[in-house]
């Protein structure tokens, strides 16, 4: 058990970031998988709580940020790029820190208005953060797990852009493009689906800086929704892909002070779905009409449990 009171800064020694990596080898000491998972969960909980407590003071927050960047540099060394366990730890670490960084970029205030960081640290961290963001924006990796982690890290580092428009636009374009790109997934589990909620978190936590691009985001999402609800559209995005975009818009709508404006945009966005429901209600009255509407037919032997798609 870590002792917070004795030495807060010692908790942030880089070695603790390798606990997850060490846990991989400890795996062999457990005969039962459920016991190992309990160990991993407890280990991670202790780590996250410890870092969270340390970050409550500005002095230790600066130390935590500096170590976070050093650890990121280590993870991005060529020899470590294939070690997803390191990146998983890196993301968990930055997710904790990011919660404390949000107060740096608050609506209606200048960056670092509360002086959580010294002027020297502010300049240094923003430079390092933007350098790392640049690396993440040009990632071209076929490993979907690595790509998914890079999206999450990108949004955790967003605060270091100071909300500048050029950076915001590039990050949004990258997230939209990555999330909506069609890919051949061999496994049933898509790593991108798990981390795609980072776009929602970005809109939720920094909507005041993203809102300026609302009209562009709305048009792109509306076009995607119309394509996906068109019967002529051959390539369909997965439901989670375009629902993420719709949810982001719904969050950004809260930036409007006028309820009438919100209602107009919502109506325009859901219109394609409303048309489908209207057509469905006008054509489906019973079980047989439902079967006909969705394009199912019975096999020649007439067995009910032998339907096939036309």
Question: For the residues of 153-183, what is the DSSP string, one character each?
Answer: HHHHTGGGGTT-HHHHHHHHHHHHHHHH---
Q: Is residue 48 part of a domain?
A: yes
Query: Residue 266: what pLDDT?
Result: 78
Q: Are residues 28 and 147 in the same domain?
A: yes
- Boundary of a domain, candidates 162, 197, 228: 162
Same domain, 136 and 15: yes
Mark whether 151 and 32 lie in a shared domain: yes
Q: Examine residue 100 and state whether it is found in any structural domain, yes or no.
A: yes
Q: 120 and 49 in contact (C-beta within 8 Å)? A: no
* Ranges in the chain, pLDDT < 50: 1-18, 304-310
Burial of 142 (0-12, 13-18, 19+ CB in 10 A): exposed
Give the residue from 130, 162, 194 where a domain finishes.
162
Tell me: do 158 and 297 sit in the same domain. Answer: no
Could you tell me if 5 and 141 lie in one domain?
A: yes
- Counted domains in the chain: 2
Q: Does one domain contain both 24 and 142?
A: yes
Does 222 fall in a domain?
no
- Would you give the DSSP letter of residue 29? G
Residue 221 lies in a domain: no
Residue 175: inside a domain: no
Query: Can you name the residues that pair with 309 across neighbouring β-strands?
Result: 296
Q: By residue range, what is the domain housing residue 91?
A: 1-162
* In-domain check, residue 136: yes
Cut 0.85: pTM above it: no
Residue 227 located in a structural domain: no
The domain boundary residue, chosen from 138, 162, 186: 162
In a domain, 78, yes or no: yes
Cα–Cα distance measured from residue 207 to residue 226, given in angstroms and rounded to the nearest whole number:
25
């Amino acid at each position: 058990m870590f002792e917070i009171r004795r030495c807060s800064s010692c908790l942030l020694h880089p070695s603790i970031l390798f606990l997850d990596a060490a846990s991989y080898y400890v795996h062999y000491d457990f005969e039962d998988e459920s016991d190992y998972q309990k160990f991993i969960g407890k280990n991670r909980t202790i780590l996250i709580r410890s870092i969270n407590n340390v970050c409550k003071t500005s002095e230790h927050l600066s130390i935590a940020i500096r170590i976070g960047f050093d650890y990121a540099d280590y993870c991005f060394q060529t020899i470590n790029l294939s070690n997803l366990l390191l990146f998983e730890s890196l993301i968990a670490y930055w997710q904790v820190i990011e919660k404390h960084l949000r107060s740096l970029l608050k609506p209606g205030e200048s960056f670092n208005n509360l002086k959580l960081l010294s002027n020297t640290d502010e300049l240094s961290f923003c430079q390092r953060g933007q350098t790392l963001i640049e690396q993440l924006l040009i990632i071209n990796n076929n490993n979907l797990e690595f790509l998914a982690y890079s999206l999450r890290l990108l949004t955790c580092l967003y605060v270091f852009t100071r909300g500048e428009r050029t950076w915001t636009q590039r990050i949004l374009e990258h997230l939209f493009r990555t999330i909506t790109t069609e890919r051949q997934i061999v496994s049933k589990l898509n790593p991108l689906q798990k981390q795609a909620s980072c776009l929602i978190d970005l809109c939720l936590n920094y909507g005041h800086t993203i809102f300026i691009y609302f009209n562009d985001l709305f048009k792109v999402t509306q076009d995607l929704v119309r394509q996906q609800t068109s019967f002529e559209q051959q390539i369909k995005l997965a439901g989670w892909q375009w629902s993420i975009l719709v949810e982001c818009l719904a969050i950004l709508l809260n930036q409007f002070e006028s309820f009438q404006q919100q209602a107009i945009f919502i109506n325009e966005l859901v219109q394609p779905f409303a048309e489908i429901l209207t057509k469905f209600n006008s054509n489906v009255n019973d079980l047989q009409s439902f079967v006909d509407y969705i394009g199912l037919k019975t096999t020649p032997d007439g067995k009910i449990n032998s339907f096939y798609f036309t």
